């Protein structure tokens, strides 16, 4: 029978439930267990697809085209296994389903209420992955903080589900904060006590407490927390600040979180976790032999989580190249033709980030023109690729008012156009080209050499495409369409013939980069930047 682990958070948000969940899953996976993680978010949006990145960080897209929470990116990067629509559920999706059933008459005239109808639907979705027979353990992370009004139905559903599952088939891990008061010179356990007390009021006794802290938690503090929170002292786990999120699985191993979990679930811990490849990766991250400076030009650079997967992909690619990748964020709006040289000074490569809307467009064009003309390695993702197409049209093909139809509906030269199947869409949510699509690579191109094969699959999230009416002009002038979707002939990858590294992808390669499998485009972009820096 599948075992269930629920991870809740208390005291404050942003304590790292996603990293703790992914780290525990990594340890259990390394012991030979089949593990998956799912995230339940309490907001009323159906999914984060229509949220501004400043609201909720990046929107992570799965293979099957679900727009999901960025924590699913951590799950995939740690476990090296794909997630799906079933791995991320929001309050909005729960209520939408229940209301649709009510409209269809499925409740036979009953009064539809939070209990039992909403909680039943939450429980059904919590068990979906476990019922496939593919997993030994399902870890469910509950978004938000215990005590939030919107989180209550999820907490109640966990209480009911634990009762239904019976002993030894589920447990609750509660992540709390043990703050250090500098004036008093001591750690304080009271916030943790109050958080657990609130959980108890809702009918849930946590089995394990993971305590986030800036300072080491001594035996006396653990003993006090255990006493006041009704847990064993060995179930009080220290989670001290780490220099890298990739350190956390090893820190949790040292704290024996995985052993404590297996003991409570009555599962064998005979197999010691095989983490040799993970430790080798960490060794390369912490002992680089060189450094490269990459500029990330984007709209949302003030919030690191807006480009979370890109930043993590650079860590993976840096480890593969045994170098440190220092990413310098550059606000696209701040760049123009007069200051572009100063803005990009000292960089070994430039990545132009994905996004939507006109803001920062001219700055991105100025940056791409500069790196194209000065042979600086360039990598464009989604809108970044489209802006490279616009820049080339204006400055090489002589199409001065060339633009994307997204930015200028009246442009004479829409070198980036709205996809045919997008033209009659009115609803914005979940209607883009989403998820994995195939791509055929042309032989003899840089893209073909990078991937080492002719057919690939990459994840998409866009409405606009390269306008094939202009393709011959581009290829004649030296910009090659090196990747084509075989089903609809859409251009997926562009590259320049006579340039050290100038590649743009209509897809999002950062979504498929993991610790075990760094993405080849990022690996080769970093390698090209190392050559530019004179370090290879």
Angstrom CA distances, 104 to 93, 109, 205, stand at 17, 10, 38
H or E element that contains 447: helix 446-451
Binding residues for CTP: 13, 148-150, 188-193, 224
What CA dihedral angle connects 160, 10, 49 and 248, to 10 degrees? -110
Tell me whether residue 186 is one of the annotated catalytic residues.
no
H or E element that contains 262: helix 257-264
Judging by beta carbons within 10 Å of its beta carbon (0-12, 13-18, 19+), is residue 38 exposed, middle or buried?
buried
Contact 44, 153 (CB under 8 A): no
- Give the contacts of 477 (CB within 8 A, at least 6 positions apart): 392, 396, 397
Binding residues for Mg(2+): 71, 141
Annotated catalytic residue within 156, 382, 460, 465: 382
Binding residues for L-glutamine: 54, 355, 383-386, 406, 463
Tell me whether residue 341 is one of the annotated catalytic residues.
no
Annotated catalytic residue within 117, 316, 413, 508: 508
Distance (Å, whole) CA 340 – CA 334 = 9
Phi and psi of 36, rounded to 5°?
Answer: -135, 160
Annotated catalytic residue within 58, 238, 495, 510: 510
Binding residues: 13-19, 54, 71, 141, 148-150, 188-193, 224, 242, 355, 383-386, 406, 463
> Is residue 50 reached through a cis peptide bond, with omega within 30 degrees of 0 on the bond before it?
no
How many CB atoms lie under 10 A from the CB of residue 289?
12
Distance (Å, whole) CA 533 – CA 529 = 6
HSE, side-chain direction, 13 A CA sphere, residue 473: 16
Binding residues for UTP: 13, 188-193, 224
E strand spans, 200-322: 208-213, 236-240, 290-298
Binding residues for ATP: 14-19, 71, 242
Tell me whether residue 58 is one of the annotated catalytic residues.
no
Q: Which residue has the tokens 């910009």?
A: 479
Q: Which of 143, 142, 227 is nearest to 189 (CA)?
A: 227
List residues with catalytic annotation. Answer: 382, 508, 510
């Amino acid at each position: 029978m599948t075992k269930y682990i629920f991870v809740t958070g208390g005291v404050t948000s942003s304590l790292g439930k996603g990293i703790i969940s992914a780290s525990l899953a990594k340890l259990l996976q390394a012991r030979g267990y089949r593990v998956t993680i799912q995230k339940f978010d309490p907001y009323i949006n159906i999914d984060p697809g229509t949220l501004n990145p400043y609201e909720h960080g990046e929107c992570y897209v799965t293979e099957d085209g679900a727009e999901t929470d960025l924590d699913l990116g951590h799950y995939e990067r740690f476990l090296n296994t794909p997630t799906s629509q079933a791995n991320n559920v929001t309050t909005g999706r729960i209520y939408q389903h229940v209301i649709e059933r009510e409209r269809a008459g499925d409740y036979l005239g009953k009064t539809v209420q939070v209990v039992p109808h909403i909680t039943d639907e939450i429980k059904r979705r919590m068990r979906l992955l476990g019922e496939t027979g593919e997993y030994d353990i399902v870890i469910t992370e509950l978004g938000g903080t215990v005590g939030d009004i919107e989180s209550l139905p999820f907490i109640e559903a966990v209480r009911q589900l634990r009762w239904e599952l019976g002993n030894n088939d589920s447990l609750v891990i509660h992540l709390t904060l043990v703050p250090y008061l500098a004036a008093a010179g001591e750690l304080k356990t009271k916030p943790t006590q109050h958080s657990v007390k609130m959980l108890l009021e809702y009918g849930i006794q946590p089995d394990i407490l993971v305590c986030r802290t800036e300072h080491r938690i001594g035996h006396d503090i653990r003993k006090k927390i255990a006493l006041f929170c009704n847990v064993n002292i060995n179930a009080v786990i220290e989670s001290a600040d780490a220099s890298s999120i990739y350190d956390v699985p090893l820190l949790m191993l040292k704290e024996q979180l995985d052993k404590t979990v297996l003991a409570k679930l009555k599962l064998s811990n005979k197999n010691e976790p095989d983490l040799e490849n993970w430790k080798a990766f960490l060794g390369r991250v912490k002992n680089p032999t060189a450094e490269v400076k990459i500029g990330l030009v984007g709209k949302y650079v003030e919030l690191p989580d807006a480009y979370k997967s890109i930043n993590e992909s650079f860590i993976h690619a840096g480890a593969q190249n045994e170098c440190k990748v220092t990413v310098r964020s550059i606000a696209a709006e701040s760049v123009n033709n007069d200051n572009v040289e100063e803005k990009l000074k000292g960089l070994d490569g430039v990545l132009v980030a994905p996004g939507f809307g006109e803001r920062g467009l001219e700055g991105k064009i100025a940056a791409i023109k500069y790196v194209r003309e000065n042979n600086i390695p360039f990598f464009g993702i989604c809108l970044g690729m489209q802006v490279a197409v616009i820049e080339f049209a204006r400055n090489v093909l002589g199409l001065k008012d060339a633009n994307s139809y997204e930015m200028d509906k009246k442009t004479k030269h829409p070198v980036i156009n709205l996809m045919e199947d997008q033209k009659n869409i009115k609803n914005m949510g979940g209607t883009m080209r989403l998820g994995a699509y195939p791509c055929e690579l042309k032989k003899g191109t840089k893209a073909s050499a990078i991937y080492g094969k002719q057919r690939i699959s990459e994840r998409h999230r866009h409405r606009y495409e390269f306008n094939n009416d202009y393709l011959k002009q581009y290829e004649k002038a030296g910009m090659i369409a090196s990747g084509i979707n075989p089903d609809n002939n859409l251009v997926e990858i562009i590259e320049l013939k006579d340039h050290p590294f100038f590649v743009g992808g209509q897809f999002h390669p950062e979504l498929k980069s993991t610790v075990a499998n760094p993405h080849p485009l990022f690996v080769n972009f970093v390698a090209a930047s190392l050559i530019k820096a004179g370090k290879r």
